Chains A and B, each alone.
Chain A
Amino acid sequence: MELSAEGIGHSFGALEVLDGIDFRVAAGEILAVIGPSGCGKSTLLSILGGLLQPDKGRAALDGAPPADSLNPLTFVFQDFALLPWRTVRGNVELALEHHRLSGPERRERVEAALAAIGLAEFKDVYPKQLSGGMRQRVGIARALVVRPAILLMDEPLSALDAQTRELLMEDFLDLWLDAKVSAVYVTHNLTEALRLADRILVLSRRPGRIKEMVRVPIPQRERTSLAAQAELAALSDTLWQSIKREAQVADREMTDV
């Protein structure tokens, strides 16, 4: 299944946050969206996932989702959005409860999703007992359990510390490359984008417009090698130069307009 943005533009009242966004995410592709804070990245993701009605343009899908997909467009949230009164298992099950599944099938899906992300032994624990990284793993298990075609990830690692982030990035790669899901990965972190994405979409500051679309020429699995590191550092520098000025101006803008 392929997801396209067709001329998406949006305003909150008089505040224009997005303008003329056009792109297409191919099947199995990972697209990172980066840009300064307040440039409408999260708004764009909400529009793509049907949680927000855009003022202009539309999000569109091509092709059928996989037969076993219960929720083709699935979010992973920055703040995890776990229900604190449900255990890990209960949070993952929540995504299935309104679908017609037999008891054993549901259990089997939940077990598989928990095992895939290393949560099997934390099934009966409440979110407050878990570290941030483990909480986001629950968020990911909940996303996987519905067998998504496209993951919409809203800064999924930005609430976590640097070491946890490293660990989870590796998990993401394993999951994506195994399950062949595509993803739109919103972040303000260049390192994450360069490590995970096939292509990087750079947004300008508000109103967010497409500034650049960069392809990362090295396969994800090879990006940790020394040779690749040098090439990525150069790419990172180019990208940083491109967004630095925007970030500086955005930083000085009043957020509460």
Chain B
Amino acid sequence: MNDIQWLIGGEAGYGIMTTGIMMSKIFTRLGLSVFDYVEYPSLIRGGHNAYYVRASDEEIYCQKRTVDILVALNRETIDKHKHELFENAAVIYDPDTIKVEPNEFASSVLLVPIPLLESTKQVGADKLMVNTVSVGASLALFYSDFEILRRIMEDTFGRKGENIVYLNVNTSKAGFDYVLKNFSKKFSVSFEKKPQKNILIGGAEAVAFGAIRAGLKFASIYPMTPINPILTTLVSSALKYSIVVKEPEDEISAISMAIGASFAGVRSMTATSGGGFSLMVESLGLSAQTETPLVIVEGMRPGPATGFPTWTEQGDLRFVMHAAQGDFPRIIIAPGDVSEAFSQTLHAFNLADKYQLPIIVLVDKYLMEGHATAPIENFKALSSKYRIERGKMLSDQETEGMVDYERYELTDDGISPRSIPGQKGGIGFSGSDEHDERGLYNEEADNRIKMMDKRFKKLEFAIREFPAPVLYGKKDAPLTIIAFGSSKMPIMQAMKWLEKEGIDANLLQVSYLAPFPGAAVERIIKSAKKTLVVEGNKTGQFEGLIREHTGLVVDHNFRKYDGRPFYPEEIVAKVKEILCQNLKI
């Protein structure tokens, strides 16, 4: 089994992101399982950027601690990351620009000095293209056919014209040839090309693709890390799929426009992070009160205020759960990986329309900006199976002869037939005041109770189509880990590693968080031997939720709030610590 992690580090502005994706693409086309993760500060030029790409010929779920190939575009990268180097690792650097002492590394480390800057000059490229030379150099360490990279360059830069393709192919080829000539077979790992079954997809792309497939027609999104790739992905498909994607003046406008578009009858969405969501809060209640379907993606990053803008956290769970004045129904779904980001976004749009309420898709920086491989057939199958369900939306024919239509008609399931502007017999009123069945403001006590109960009744029916929380791993494992959202990825990795050591742990992943599936979670916890909640926030927001809805206290917790995602190594250590304690007892 080969399992390596490649890392490029350097100043922002040197194409670190592009290079990282390029590397992920190489591994993907080699038929490997890939995961990438980027760390960067909140600025455009300067500062330290680090892009990790892990690849393996068996299935992997996330990044790991150790690095096998380090590309250092500056000296700072070596200082910051040399302690991460695994045995037999390779370090690619330019001896003309970085001073390196051989004795600063372990003896097994392979130093790969390459004239990166000089190579760019020789092919007539800009000095900013040193990163491209390093991609070719990296490839040559573990694979001997340059064609794979040439194809990627053509696919990536073809639209930008022949000259750009030519420059990229030649700069990367220069690095490739240099390493092949001088360091052939010196690196400890080599890969064979396997049939490619996967695509490489980012969490944000998966959300956007889900939305497109779900029939999204309107999106208004104000830029904010980490959901910007949703905006850019939607924009690049906007003309092809006839979707209006707008960048409004602020987040209040973003959610309001989406509500307006939905009221007018099209599927709409917005996306933001915690700060922007703070501005959207009042309108979240508006969506619920007017019973206007809405999908909101909230990408968590560490708060409060500006917080830690480019890092990750799971600290907004309680916020999105309780945001806005008063009691109203909402649904919160937290996908755990790219596949769930796609499938649960598809579901979110159907739920919004069928139950006429706001759906929050709760994600985070780690899931949004990372990429992972997943079988393309899975996405195609989900896509072809999907049916757009618009619930009780009235057709033009149905409204044609209607008189005295009432927008908030009381029904057995709490869901009222919905007309849209333009339908002749469907003239109706949507009001943010408490209203009667016609939508007219109404301050009577009995009407208030009827309308509150009506709105909440919808949830009783919605939860019937929630998938049950999933228990991954062996049912009778001595430890049950409980988590939500992106923590799933490092936990799944940890479980796999533990299994190899003969240690079993299973994972209870709760994706549908509101309404909380209390009964199902209670059942699983009661049959678990020991429990551990893993979540990325300081106060145990998820752990408290479990207690609130099950009355049960979990045995252990592992919380992280340093802006970094969980590492599988940390979870492995935590699990061992808990199980060893048990042995002592």
Q: Are A and B bound to each other?
A: no
Interface residues of B (CB under 8 A from A): none
Interface residues of A (CB under 8 A from B): none
